[in-house]
A and B are shown apart, each in its own frame.
Chain A
Amino acid sequence: MSLILLIEQILNGLQFGIMLFLMAAGLTLIFGVMGLINLAHGSLYMIGAFCAAAVAGLTGSFLLGLIAALAGAALAGALVELVVIRRLYRKDHLDQVLATFALILIFSEGTRWLFGSFPLFLDVPDYLSGPITLPGGIQYPLYRLALIVIGLAVGLGLYLLISKTRLGVQIRAGENDREMIAALGIDIAKLYTIVFALGAALAGFAGALVGAIQSVQVGMGEPVLIMAFVVIVIGGIGSIKGALIGALLVGLTDTLGGIFLPEVMKLFFDPSTATSVGSSLASMAIYVLMAAVLVLKPAGLFGARA
């Protein structure tokens, strides 16, 4: 295993983690501020990807596709909040899980009805395609590098939004004591709609960015959703910082585990058994990580409440 390969894999882990962060940030924000478990977050990811594919297909511009993804997912999020989620705040988590699970089915079949069952085409734009050579002779796809940069920029923007703006103050206050900020004259219903739309937009954005190098199809959101839940449990529910650290940990564990565990197993088994045992262990790696974190810190790494 050469150093170049190792660095390339670490970059891959980072890139995967950053994309998970975009998903997890919205999920954790919605849970933290509104106390809502939103299983339909993966559907918003899918909506973003489909909006991007449809608009990029029509106009030929990837950038317009991205904007459409942000707008489409935010719009869908706001609509869902107004029509469905609003009725669920006072219910317990089981009702929320049931209702948002129903939303997954509605969104999946609705998308199939609109776009058909076959995957859509969405490609990396020409100016970001192909590999570039990094210092040290590492060949790395430019698009993935761009994903890391964009993800970090969004993370920074989110940090500034929450810590420096008036909306951010309201969001943080809403996390701590929602009755009190309602009493102070903040329109809590509007705040909730904004937070939900923001979370949805982040998910849709991630869906569009990832859709360009993966397959844009119905059901693409659910596997990512499970990972995003793992991330927010590790990072501590409600914490954006936790989501970032958790996402990077999960991304690196998953990527590096997939590479190194089969190699380690080769010391004990013949190559073909080793790859199969190693890959099985690698798929468990992030759940083992989650269990370990929960044993040491039951509220997650940066969780406020237990």
Chain B
Amino acid sequence: MKVMTMAATAVLALGLTNAQADPVKVGMITTLSGGGAGLGIDVRDGFLLAVKQSGNSDIEVIVEDDQRKPDVAVQLADKMVQSDKVDVMTGIVWSNLAMAVIPSVTAQGKFYLSPNAGPSALAGKGCHPNYFNVAWQNDNLHEGAGAYANFADMKKSFILAPNYPAGKDALTGYKRFYKGELAGEIYTKLGQTDYAAELAQIRASGADSVFFFLPGGMGISFLKQYKDSGIDLPVVGPAFSFDQGILQAVGDAALGVKNTSQWSKDIANETNKAFVESFQAEYGRLPSLYASQGFDTANLLLSAMAKADVSDADAFREALEEANFKSTRGNFRFGPNHHPIQDIHVREVIKEGDVYTNKIIGTALTSHADAYWAECDM
């Protein structure tokens, strides 16, 4: 009895008004080893930073490494749902892994909050009441790039992306907004590191601009080889090839390139400012957009936990839908298919002292929703 009174006093003292008792168990599957590890590590660090800052001890996070392999991710998800009995899952970076895991997780009545991958298949007909995407629908940043290309008067773009779900979403997204004609369209191999053949095609195509979506190491290789090829056309792309983690490895080859992002470290709001400072203090490096997405995902979850008990799925879902948290992006709300409605900014790669980073130069799309919500029926 005494213990209970003390606990109640403690809760009151902390100013927590929720009646929640059961802790929420979160299963995070993300890429922590191999080629794409930098992305997963940023998602994890952003997420854990938000949990730490909340001081909420009712949340338990289990982190596992999917090694960027769909089969490993599926096994881990089964283990987390069946033996760890998690309530909420999150963490997956890659769309092909997301497609392998998310439908089965949500079908088993668990919540999935995506901190990155947003394949079109899960935004339209395949949407699910328990699936929320806190980052973007895959097409969004590319749609922003297409809108920017019109603004920058690009009339003949050469476009390329890897041959996997997010790559196809990328080119579809760009073409949805881009009004000019195409000088060429190529799907490269996922994980390809040599782009000599593609660069020769770009040179011969008579294009006036290049749009590419090559996340992680692929983008580093492409940009270095692009610079070395002597092709002198303006380049535009989504933020994934210009995030904080890889810019230092690209170096001068990225300077001045325009890229589109829902987040940037110089978005002026208190949450973002505090996030950038605390992330830097905690981990000794600048955050990337992946880190901001992990941070926002955790804060969304925490906001729902403050309102509803996770065992009451309907109330918890409603609490998530409200998205009543302070996003690092400023404006943030969910559309009817549980995907974000948000601004897409245009950034330019600059050098601050010795560090390559991005600065916002404009907004490509305001309060932008994805193109698939009408197909979603839930």
Binary CB contact string for chain A from 205 to 231 against chain B (1 if under 8 A, 0 otherwise):
000001011111111100100000000
Is the Cβ of A118 less than 8 Å from the Cβ of B189? no
Check A219/B35 contact, CB under 8 A, given A117-B41, A259-B197, A280-B163. Answer: yes
Complex: how many Å from CA A204 to CA B113?
A: 42
For A283, list chain B residues within 8 Å (CB).
163, 189
Is the Cβ of B185 less than 8 Å from the Cβ of A272? yes
Complex: how many Å from CA A2 to CA B201?
A: 10
For B189, list chain A residues within 8 Å (CB).
258, 279, 282-283
A32 at the interface (CB under 8 A from B): no
Is the Cβ of A144 less than 8 Å from the Cβ of B196? yes
Nearest-neighbor residue (CB-CB) of B253 within chain A: A123
Check A218/B249 contact, CB under 8 A, given A143-B228, A279-B163. Answer: no
Complex: how many Å from CA A129 to CA B34?
A: 30
Complex: how many Å from CA A276 to CA B201?
A: 16
Tell me which of B185, B188, B200, B217 has the highest count of chain A C-beta atoms within 10 A of its own C-beta.
Answer: B200
Is the Cβ of B217 less than 8 Å from the Cβ of A119? yes
Is the Cβ of A130 less than 8 Å from the Cβ of B35? no
The prevalent SS among residues of B at the interface is: helix
B313 at the interface (CB under 8 A from A): no
For B216, list chain A residues within 8 Å (CB).
215
Complex: how many Å from CA A62 to CA B368?
A: 46
B168 at the interface (CB under 8 A from A): yes
B220 at the interface (CB under 8 A from A): yes
Is the Cβ of A275 less than 8 Å from the Cβ of B197? no
A298 at the interface (CB under 8 A from B): no
Complex: how many Å from CA A123 to CA B227?
A: 11
For B168, list chain A residues within 8 Å (CB).
276
Nearest-neighbor residue (CB-CB) of B40 within chain A: A117
Check A5/B204 contact, CB under 8 A, given A119-B217, A213-B228, A279-B163. Answer: yes
For A121, list chain B residues within 8 Å (CB).
248-251
Is the Cβ of A112 less than 8 Å from the Cβ of B37? yes
Is the Cβ of A118 less than 8 Å from the Cβ of B187? no
B126 at the interface (CB under 8 A from A): no
Q: Please tell me the size bucket of the interface on B.
A: 35 or more
Shortest distance in angstroms between A163's beta carbon and chain B's nearest beta carbon? 31
B225 at the interface (CB under 8 A from A): yes
Is the Cβ of B229 less than 8 Å from the Cβ of A131? yes
Check A123/B245 contact, CB under 8 A, given A220-B217, A276-B168. Answer: no
B246 at the interface (CB under 8 A from A): yes
A16 at the interface (CB under 8 A from B): yes
Is the Cβ of B197 less than 8 Å from the Cβ of A141? no
Is the Cβ of B204 less than 8 Å from the Cβ of A124? no
Binding site for A on B (CB under 8 A): 33-35, 37-38, 41, 163, 168, 171, 185-189, 191, 193-194, 196-197, 200-201, 203-204, 216-218, 220-221, 224-225, 227-230, 245-246, 248-252
Please give 7 more A-B residue pairs, beta carbons under 8 A apart, in addition to A8-B200, A139-B229, A217-B35.
A118-B246, A119-B38, A119-B249, A121-B250, A218-B37, A220-B217, A276-B168
Tell me which of B34, B218, B251 has the highest count of chain A C-beta atoms within 10 A of its own C-beta.
Answer: B34
A9 at the interface (CB under 8 A from B): yes
The prevalent SS among residues of A at the interface is: helix
Is the Cβ of A279 less than 8 Å from the Cβ of B186? yes
A109 at the interface (CB under 8 A from B): yes
Which 5 pairs show the lowest CB-CB distances between chains A and B? A131-B230, A215-B220, A215-B217, A119-B249, A12-B196
Complex: how many Å from CA A216 to CA B150?
A: 35
For B197, list chain A residues within 8 Å (CB).
9, 12, 255, 258-259
Is the Cβ of A275 less than 8 Å from the Cβ of B249? no
Complex: how many Å from CA A278 to CA B59?
A: 48
Nearest-neighbor residue (CB-CB) of B172 within chain A: A272
Shortest distance in angstroms between A264's beta carbon and chain B's nearest beta carbon? 15
Shortest distance in angstroms between A59's beta carbon and chain B's nearest beta carbon? 17
For B251, list chain A residues within 8 Å (CB).
121, 123
A271 at the interface (CB under 8 A from B): yes
Nearest-neighbor residue (CB-CB) of B39 within chain A: A117
Within 8 A of B (CB), among A31-71: none
Complex: how many Å from CA A262 to CA B185?
A: 10
Check A2/B185 contact, CB under 8 A, given A141-B229, A217-B217. Answer: no
Check A214/B220 contact, CB under 8 A, given A117-B41, A144-B196. Answer: yes
Shortest distance in angstroms between B53's beta carbon and chain A's nearest beta carbon? 23
Is the Cβ of A9 less than 8 Å from the Cβ of B200? yes
Is the Cβ of B194 less than 8 Å from the Cβ of A214? yes
A189 at the interface (CB under 8 A from B): no
Shortest distance in angstroms between B274's beta carbon and chain A's nearest beta carbon? 24
Nearest-neighbor residue (CB-CB) of B190 within chain A: A283
